[in-house]
Amino acid sequence: MTSPALELSGIDMHYGYVGALAGIDFHVNPGEVVGLLGDNGAGKSTLLKVMSGAHRPSGGTIRVHGKEVQFHSPSDSADAGIQMVYQDLALVDPQDISTNLSIGREILRKGPLGWLGFVDRKAMRKRSEAELDRLGVRTAPMTRPVEMLSGGQRQVVALARGAIRVSGEANGVLLLDEPTAALGYEQTRQVEALIRRMAAQGVAIVLVTHNLPLCSEVADRVVVLNRGSKVADVAVADTEPDHIVGWITGARASQFA
Amino acid sequence: MTVTAAPVEKADVPVPTGHDMPRAVTALVFVRDRGIFVLWGLIIVAFSFWCAPYFATLDNALLIANAAALTAIFAAGVGFGVMTGVLDLSLPGTAAFAACVAGWLITNGQPIWLALVAGLACGVLVGLVNGLIALRGFNPIIVTIGTLSALSGLAAVIAGGYTFPGLTGLTFMGTDRYLGVPAPVYIVGLLFLVGTVFLTRTRDGIRLMAVGGNAEAVRRSGIHSDRYKVLGFVISGLCAALGGLVTAAITTEATPEASPSIIFNALTAVALAGVALTGGRGSLPRVLVGALILATIANGLTIRGIQPYWATVTTGVLLLASLLLERVVQTSVSNRLMASANLSVHKKQV
């Protein structure tokens, strides 16, 4: 059994005297999609921020591929291979798809022009095409400005940007915050398929959502939080939506009480 | 552990070739991005008939180019700033300050090259200060208004309340002509060439534009977007200093007066070029044509003997019309895109 891609144990989080998370154990394996559910204020966002390095937990340990790590900032977690895709996609609207996927990892031209910082747009387009092909989501030409894409296509570009950055030699972790909140039915289906494909390539995925059908469609396992504690951690195949709703609302007793 | 993966759907939509955009959208985008070149061409053709035979001559073309030069340099400064997402109003102050520093050095017997380098360095310094203050979360407009007044005051202090006249050593970049073309035209040509190549072909230029478009996106890509914001101010300040030095070279006098009309002309050229003040869009060649349109209109009306204030009226009307066009294009593009996006989801042909 290989170690999980990301493992949190005994995570405590206090804001002053207010406890936001109490002793949370959480792990996600390579190639696994874990749905993180909970009502508003249950601690989903706080836990996600702990994973992405935006918050430092008051207690507990974080392990990435079995190695204990300390995140002091989001860039630490990015270096460890963890990428977060936010609800506001944060795309550069006037720039094309290729530029959006390549920014921060541009390909420079060979020779003296490269020393001056000239980029090789053709090579970047080719690479972006290959990367999107690998994810099976080439929906528009690489030269299309992002502002001219539909909502679903924009979401795909944002997801792909995260996926590209984590699926290097060591498979990373992708944290998705409500990836389908702004999408219609068919576009949601496309994004679901993309999430499954990324998992099939070995990326570990944590999916935060309010959308139960989405969760039962794409997640392998769900973790439910209620008032800062984990109340359920169960394979989707072994449960049913009514039970999950019960855990979310608190009507159903915690598995760990 | 068994992973129960839902069957992965094969991408059943054919890989797009780039011809899936409705023709009307392509045309509208052309109007948005290239319309100003067409407009300039139309103005030239109109004046060529209306002001025949004096307008369509090589000499007059050079006259227009030279008249547009100063506006173009300052417009490049404003344009760089706006595309990076900052509006730098301190340009006239920076120009006056740089010119006075250079004038003071020349008047005190320093070599010309040192004066020019010092003048440009002032621009960089002002840009750095502007940028570092604005990064603290203050509104860049207010910050640069503050530096504008501080700088024009400092320029007056350097000049001791007077001006630095008789800077004849600068005529090589002012009124001198090379191959019949005035020096400022070469300077503008070089500035816009280098600037355009920088913004569209180099890593830092592309990131600069991206920061203007969405600083948060760039920051999340692991890039220090703040550095690029400061770079935007620095380039803007550098252009302003260059403008101040060329002004001093043309008039052979460095004056501490920071004329606000500089910034308004530059802003008019930039807005006419359709560079959105929200940042991240636009191109320098369009800004250049914006400045040229202003000069062309003034020139043509002057040839016809029409009072010069009509040129201002025409410019204002053009500006408002260009805003209207921008809006119309924007809404019809998004309407058409919405229609085609819905079609393509249902896999129909557009």
Domain count of the fold of chain B: 1
Q: Any idea what DSSP says for residue B170?
A: G
Do both A166 and A73 map to the same domain?
yes
Q: Residue B346 has what pLDDT?
A: 44
Contact A106 B213 (CB under 8 A): no
Counted across chains A and B, CB pairs separated by less than 8 A come out at: 109
Among chain A residues, the shortest Cα distance to B16 is held by A140
A220-247 as b/e, with b when 16 or more CB fall inside 10 Å?
bbbbbbbebbbbbbeebeebeeebbebb
Q: Cβ of A114 under 8 Å from any chain B Cβ?
A: no
CATH code assigned at B248: 1.10.3470
Q: What tokens were used for B10?
A: 């094969």
Q: Cβ of A78 under 8 Å from any chain B Cβ?
A: yes
Residues 6+ apart with CB under 8 A from B190: none
Do both A84 and A156 map to the same domain?
yes
Do both A133 and A12 map to the same domain?
no
DSSP 3-state of A81: coil
Q: Is the residue at A1 inside a domain?
A: no
Contacts A144 to B, Cβ<8 Å: 18, 21
Q: Residue A168 has what pLDDT?
A: 60
Contact B280 A100 (CB under 8 A): no
Q: Any idea what DSSP says for residue A6?
A: E
Q: Is the residue at B20 inside a domain?
A: no
Measured in Å, how far apart are chain B's first and last C-alpha atoms?
Answer: 46
Q: Residue B1 has what pLDDT?
A: 38
Please report which confidence band the pLDDT of residue A169 belongs to, taking 50, 70 and 90 as the band edges.
low
Do both A171 and A210 map to the same domain?
yes
Q: Is the residue at B85 inside a domain?
A: yes
Closest CB from A31, A119, A136 relative to B11: A136
Indicate which of B25, B203, B344 best probes the interface with A, i.e. most A CBs within 10 Å of its own CB.
Answer: B203
Among chain B residues, the shortest Cα distance to A197 is held by B8
Domain end, chosen from A119, A144, A169, is at A144
Do both A32 and A113 map to the same domain?
no
**CA–CA dist A196, B5 (Å, integer):** 7
Q: Which residue has the tokens 């598995």?
A: A255
- Residue B156, CA distances (Å) to A187, B214, B223, B241, B254 in order: 63, 39, 40, 16, 11
Closest CB from A74, A119, A193 relative to B8: A193
Name residues 180-219 of chain A within 8 A of B (Cβ): 184, 186-187, 192-193, 196-197, 199-200, 217-218
Contact A236 B16 (CB under 8 A): no
Contact A103 B206 (CB under 8 A): yes
Do both A234 and A190 map to the same domain?
yes
Please report which confidence band the pLDDT of residue A35 belongs to, taking 50, 70 and 90 as the band edges.
very high
Among chain A residues, the shortest Cα distance to B278 is held by A94
Q: Cα dihedral angle (A120, A122, A128, A131), rounded to 10 degrees?
A: -100
Contact B213 A95 (CB under 8 A): yes
Q: Which residues of B touch A (CB under 8 A)?
A: 1, 3-6, 8-11, 13, 15-18, 20-21, 25, 201-204, 206-207, 209-210, 213-214, 216-218, 220-223, 280-281, 333, 337, 341, 344-346
Residues forming a β-bridge with A27: A7
Contacts B275 to A, Cβ<8 Å: none
Do both A121 and A216 map to the same domain?
no
Q: Is the residue at B4 inside a domain?
A: no
Q: Is the residue at B100 inside a domain?
A: yes
Domain count of the fold of chain A: 2
Q: What tokens were used for B9?
A: 């759907």
Whole-model pTM? Answer: 0.84
DSSP H stretches of helix in chain A: 44-52, 74-79, 97-102, 112-115, 121-135, 151-166, 185-200, 212-218, 241-249
ipTM over 0.95: no
Task: Give the sheet arrangement for strand A204-208, strand by strand.
Answer: A82-85, A173-177, A204-208, A33-38, A221-226, A229-235
Q: Residue B7 has what pLDDT?
A: 43
Domain end, chosen from A110, A127, A144, is at A144
Among chain A residues, the shortest Cα distance to B198 is held by A118
Q: What is the mean pLDDT of chain A?
A: 85
Position A117 pLDDT exceeds 50: yes
Closest CB from A90, A138, A193 relative to B214: A90
Q: Residue B12 has what pLDDT?
A: 47
Q: Is the residue at A52 inside a domain?
A: yes
Do both A178 and A76 map to the same domain?
yes
Do both A10 and A83 map to the same domain?
yes
Q: Is the residue at B144 inside a domain?
A: yes
Q: Is the residue at A255 inside a domain?
A: no
Q: Cα dihedral angle (B228, B229, B230, B233), rounded to 10 degrees?
A: 120
Question: What are the φ and ψ backbone dihedral angles of B343, each rounded to 5 degrees?
Answer: -60, -45
Name residues 148-187 of chain A within 8 A of B (Cβ): 148, 150, 152-153, 161, 184, 186-187
Q: Is the residue at B7 inside a domain?
A: no
**CA–CA dist B297, B71 (Å, integer):** 14
Do both A84 and A126 map to the same domain?
no
Q: Residue B289 has what pLDDT?
A: 93
- Is the CB of residue A97 less than 8 Å from the CB of residue A127? no
Residues 6+ apart with CB under 8 A from B163: B103, B253, B254, B255, B256
Q: Residue B132 has what pLDDT?
A: 92
Q: Is the residue at B347 inside a domain?
A: no
CA distance B216 to chain A (A): 6
Q: Residue B127 has what pLDDT?
A: 94
**CA–CA dist B215, B209 (Å, integer):** 9
Please report which confidence band the pLDDT of residue A52 belongs to, taking 50, 70 and 90 as the band edges.
confident
Over its length of 350 residues, how does chain B's per-residue pLDDT go in tens digits?
Answer: 344 444 444 444 444 445 566 777 878 888 777 888 888 999 999 999 988 788 888 889 999 999 899 999 999 999 999 888 888 899 999 999 999 999 999 989 889 999 999 999 999 999 999 999 988 888 888 999 999 999 999 999 998 888 888 888 888 888 888 998 899 999 999 999 999 999 999 999 999 999 988 888 888 777 888 899 999 999 999 999 999 999 999 988 888 888 888 888 898 899 888 887 777 888 899 999 999 999 999 899 888 888 878 888 888 888 888 888 888 887 887 777 766 655 544 443 33
> What's the whole-number mean pLDDT along residues A204-215?
87
Q: Which residue has the higher pLDDT, A15 or A47?
A: A47
**CA–CA dist B174, B168 (Å, integer):** 9
Q: How many residues does chain B have?
A: 350
Residues spanned by the domain of B135 = 27-325
> What's the whole-number mean pLDDT along residues A62-91?
84
Q: Is the residue at A254 inside a domain?
A: no
Indicate which of B4, B20, B204, B221 best probes the interface with A, i.e. most A CBs within 10 Å of its own CB.
Answer: B221
Do both A161 and A208 map to the same domain?
yes
Q: Which residue has the higher pLDDT, B344 or A206?
A: A206
DSSP 3-state of B224: coil
Contacts A143 to B, Cβ<8 Å: 18
DSSP H stretches of helix in B202-308: 203-213, 215-220, 225-251, 260-272, 284-303
Q: Any idea what DSSP says for residue B151?
A: H
Closest CB from B10, B203, B345 relative to A186: B345
Question: What are the φ and ψ backbone dihedral angles of B112, each rounded to 5 degrees?
Answer: -60, -45
Q: What tokens were used for B184?
A: 């400022």
**CA–CA dist B121, B253 (Å, integer):** 19
CATH code assigned at A224: 3.40.50.300
Do both A50 and A140 map to the same domain?
no
Q: Is the residue at B127 inside a domain?
A: yes
Nearest to A4 by CA among A31, A24, A23: A31
Q: Cβ of A116 under 8 Å from any chain B Cβ?
A: yes
Q: Is the residue at A174 inside a domain?
A: yes
Domain end, chosen from A144, A168, A183, is at A144
**CA–CA dist A194, A185 (Å, integer):** 14
Residues spanned by the domain of A67 = 6-90+151-249
